[in-house]
């Protein structure tokens, strides 16, 4: 492992922290707005809304009942920032890593930190939007923003990892670092560096790519793997979204 190469490619990673800062800023802005209207809120306020957007639980007004969602969102943003801070330690480089592998690893780290940052930001926007809507129109809080945010978060995850992989390729090429023939073949078997794509491998779950942490990922190269991904999206995204729309009508 070349420490000079590793030091060189890690410079510039700090810009991704702006996204985490923006997430906290969203929560703080909503909190500041809440303090200006706190006295005008009714003494009994709704604290939970059903799938159709109508309130089904109420509590006496207090600092906790009014600002708890924002405090929860702020705490989540801090947690995701802490996870992002330890990501490099979670994917340590191999002792015999080639220069190309170091660039690829850095791309994965940047994609992960960016994905965590955008997830934090979008969740902060969602919680802030719903909280402010609960203050201003307590009789009905629309389910639309939640459904949109779920789709945006999933899209951001894919885009962030794809962008990280593209950064690794372009930066390595700019610096005169190119993968070996074996590394090029290995690169072709990964989508965005996170999903395995090998039609000759019958396994649905395979180990994550070296330098991408521990655990398993899905092989979308065979029919069973693609079916697993579709079932996951239907069960955890499409059906909940459809149910939310139905309840809101």
Give the pLDDT confidence score for residue 72 in this predicted structure: 92
Average pLDDT over residues 9-19: 81
Output the pLDDT for position 246. 47
Map tokens 């069973």 to a residue. Answer: 224
Cα separation, 234 vs 225, whole angstroms: 14
Distance, in Å, from the CA atom of 108 to the CA atom of 76, rounded to the nearest integer, reads 22
Rounded to an integer, the average pLDDT of 71-80 is: 93
Name the residue with higher pLDDT: 133 or 29.
29
Element (H, E) at 162: helix 144-174
In percent, the amount of the chain with pLDDT more than 90 equals 25
Instruction: For residue 144, give both structure tokens.
Output: 């639309």
pLDDT tens digit sequence for 215-242: 788 898 888 988 988 887 777 666 655 5
Query: By the 8 A CB rule, do 166 and 114 touch?
Result: no
Helices (H), 11-43: 17-37
> For residues 84 and 81, what is the distance between their CA atoms, to the nearest angstrom?
5
Between 238 and 165, where is the model more confident?
A: 165
Q: What are the distances in angstroms from CA 240 to CA 150, 183, 194? A: 10, 40, 25
pLDDT at 78 over 90: yes
Q: Are 67 and 45 in contact (CB under 8 A)?
A: no
How far apart CA 210 and CA 155 sit, in angstroms, is 24
pLDDT tens by residue, 80-108: 999 999 988 877 777 777 888 888 888 88
Among 11-20, 69-78, 180-189, 237-246, whose mean pLDDT is lowest?
237-246
How high is the pLDDT of residue 4? 60
Is residue 6 predicted with pLDDT exceeding 80?
Answer: no
**Mean pLDDT estimate for the chain:** 83
Q: Is the pLDDT of residue 1 over 70?
A: no
Q: For residues 47-60, give the mean pLDDT.
A: 78
Residue 178: left (phi > 0), alpha (psi -120 to 50), or beta? beta
Instruction: Please name the residues in contact with 94: beta carbons below 8 A apart, sequence gap of 6 or more.
Output: 1, 101, 210, 211
The model's pTM is 0.81
Q: Is the dihedral angle over the CA atoms 209, 213, 216, 220 positive or is it negative? A: negative
**Alpha carbon distance 100, 146 (integer Å):** 40
What do you get for the CA distance between the two ends of the chain, in Å?
59
Which helix H or strand E contains 229, and what residues bound it? helix 223-233
pLDDT in tens, 188-214: 888 766 788 998 888 888 888 776 666
Instruction: Choose between 8 and 198: higher pLDDT.
Output: 198
pLDDT band at 185 (very low <50, low <70, confident <90, very high): confident
193: phi then psi, degrees, rounded to nearest 5: 80, 0
What local confidence, expressed as pLDDT, does residue 248 receive?
A: 47
Question: Which of 109, 152, 115, 117 minimizes the C-alpha distance to 26?
Answer: 117
CA angle (184 as vertex; 104, 215 as ends), nearest 5: 50
Percent of the chain with pLDDT over 70: 84
pLDDT digits (tens, 9 = 90+) for 121-133: 999 998 998 899 8
pLDDT band per the 50, 70, 90 thresholds, residue 3: low
């Amino acid at each position: 492992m070349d420490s000079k190469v590793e030091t060189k490619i890690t410079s510039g990673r700090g810009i991704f922290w702006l996204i985490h800062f923006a997430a906290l800023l969203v929560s703080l802005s909503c909190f500041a707005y809440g303090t200006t209207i706190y006295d005008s809120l009714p003494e009994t306020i709704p604290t939970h809304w059903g799938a159709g957007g109508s309130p089904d639980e109420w509590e006496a007004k207090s600092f906790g009942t009014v600002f708890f969602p924002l405090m929860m969102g702020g705490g989540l943003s801090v947690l995701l920032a802490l996870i992002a801070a330890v990501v490099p330690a979670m994917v340590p480089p191999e002792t015999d890593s080639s220069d190309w592998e170091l660039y690829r690893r850095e791309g994965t780290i940047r994609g992960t930190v960016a994905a965590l940052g955008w997830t934090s930001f979008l969740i902060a926007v969602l919680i802030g939007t719903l909280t402010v809507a609960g203050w201003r129109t307590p009789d009905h809080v629309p389910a639309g923003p939640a459904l949109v945010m779920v789709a945006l978060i999933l899209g951001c995850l894919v885009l962030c990892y794809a962008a990280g992989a593209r950064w690794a390729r372009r930066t390595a090429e700019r610096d005169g670092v190119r993968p070996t023939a074996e590394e090029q073949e290995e690169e072709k078997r990964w989508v965005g560096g996170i999903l395995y794509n090998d039609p000759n491998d019958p396994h649905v779950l395979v180990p994550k790519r070296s330098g991408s942490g521990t655990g398993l990922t899905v092989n979308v190269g065979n029919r069973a793997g693609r079916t697993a991904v579709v079932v996951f999206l239907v069960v955890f995204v499409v059906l909940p979204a459809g149910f939310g729309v139905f309840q809101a009508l």
